[in-house]
Structure 1
Amino acid sequence: MKWLRKKRVLLLLFIGFTAVLFLSTNWMSWFYPIHYRDEISKHSETYEIDPFLVAAIIRVETNFKTGQESKKGAIGLMQLMPDTAKWALEKAKLPDVSMERLKHDPAVNIELGTWYLSSLSRQFEGNRTAVIAAYNAGPGKVRSWLSEGTWDGTEAAVKDIPFGETRHYVQRVIYYYDQYSELYNEF
């Protein structure tokens, strides 16, 4: 009988410890971590982009793993296509940045990716959903969908995006954006 009481006491202590742990910390952040917070914060402030959007895009693109290269050739944390990266490097005037450095250096990739998001935000007048779609499909495609009336650019009509990959991408980025915005009061 003593043995059974000891097990109950241990079980109660374990449950109590677990409850205190979960109530005293933001335990959901364990499932939705944000790596490279300093770089994201710095460049988001510089280029006036919501840092949660940058984090959500990185999460969907590479899950914060550096040195990634997609089958289509997109590179780095934010998976910039080489032609887009070269164009953005020229426009952003980032000194001494090679494509190899862009692939492996998180700070440089985040800076250029955030600059590009800022450029898209200006093109689409701050429409976050259109910016996300343009980041994936390209601004030309998104402009044609909007002008042809294929998609109205709203989050409510994401199901109307004609490319399945882009539709799914936008839904995933918005999901992570919402999770980060809820979990982290500030960046």
Structure 2
Amino acid sequence: MAEPRRSRWGVGLAVAVLVAAGWAAARGGHGTESTAPRKPGESAAPTATSTPGERPTPNNQDPSRYAPQVIKYAKRAEINPQLLMAILYNESYKPHDPAWERAWQRIKPDAAFGIANMHKAAFDETKQGRDFADRDWQQLPDDPALAVEAAAWYLHDLARQLPAERSSRYTEDDLLALGYNTGPGNMAAFARGAKPGAAAQSYLDQLHSNWSVAARALHGAG
């Protein structure tokens, strides 16, 4: 029985490599795994308990099912729930099946985990002093509620790092989304008027296109 299991794993891993490689080429660094350069020492940017038997798969990526958790944790973290929901839509470009994520992480150890695509450094920093301080980054693929909670508080922490005086080029939600994608150092530079690179601008454009979809998802949960 062990041999077939290993064979299936090998096929699944090969599929993961091919699919992820295709995404990487197509996305051009889009998302939280490949972003604008960060300052030395800066944390990587990030990333609903599933109904039993219901976990995200490549054919079941719509994050609207997590709208109740988005509303709950956005309120606790005092951030805009529409922003958090739109970010989940931005991050739904890759499969969030736990087995797939772990297969890909074996190939790319610095890959992000969970439905919000959060990196380990960002998660470990964000959880300090929070209700989920005893949770581990490795649990994110299996616990979407934890992923939503961590992403909400990461956005909360980013908001506290925004410069008091900033350019009118972007809204606060725009800047927080850029910070989520590229890290706090880059966010501060954008706030002062720096122009995002192609990958960051693509992330922001995608956020804008997902804005109304996020609103409808939240309305449906109300």
Q: TM-score, normalised by structure 1?
A: 0.66
Alignment of 1:75-94 (within 5 A): 75-94=113-132
2:82·2:218 contact (CA, 8 Å) conserved in 1? no
Q: 1:101 aligns with which of 112, 133, 139?
A: 139
Q: 2:181 touches 2:203 (CA, 8 Å); kept in 1?
A: yes
Render the CA deviation track for 1:106-147: whole Å, top value 9, x for unaligned.
011110111111111232268111101010011101213444
Q: 1:52-79 CA distances to partner (integer Å, 9 max, x unpaired)? A: 2111111111258353467551111111
Taking a change above 3 Å as real, the CA distance of residues 39 and 56 of structure 1, as seen in their structure-2 partners, is: same
TM-score by length of 2: 0.57
* Aligned residues of 1:76 and 1:106 also touching (Cα < 8 A): yes
Distance 1:183 1:80 in 2: 22
Q: Distance in 2 between matches of 1:137 and 1:95?
A: 24
Moved over 3 A (4+): 63-72, 182-187
1:136 — aligned with what? 181
The aligned counterpart of 1:51 is 81
Matched, 1:62 2:107: no
Counterpart among 52, 59, 69 of residue 39 in structure 1: 69
Q: Percent identity?
A: 22
- Counterparts of 1:89 and 1:184, CA distance in 2: 25
Letter in 1 for 2:79: I
The unaligned stretches of length 5 or more in structure 1 are: 1-31, 151-159
Q: Which runs of 5+ in 2 are unaligned?
A: 1-61, 165-170
CA contact (8 A) 1:49 1:114 kept: yes
* Superposed displacement of residue 39, structure 1: 1.3
In structure 1, what is the Cα distance between the partners aligned to 2:129 and 2:212? 31
After superposition, the Cα gap between the structure-2 partners of 1:110 and 1:66, relative to the gap in structure 1 and judged at 3 Å, is farther
Residue number among 136, 147, 168 corresponding to 2:202 in the alignment: 168
Alpha carbons 2:70, 2:81 under 8 Å: kept:
yes
Q: SS where residue 175 of structure 1 aligns?
A: helix
Partner of 2:12: none
Q: Is the 8 A contact 2:64 2:218 kept in 1?
A: no
Question: Number of aligned pairs?
Answer: 146
Larger C-alpha radius of gyration, 1 or 2? 1
Structure 1 residue 90: deviation in Å? 1.7
Aligned-pair RMSD on alpha carbons?
2.7
Deviation at 1:182, TM superposition (A): 5.6
| Structure of greater relative contact order (alpha carbons < 8 Å, 6+ residues apart) | 2
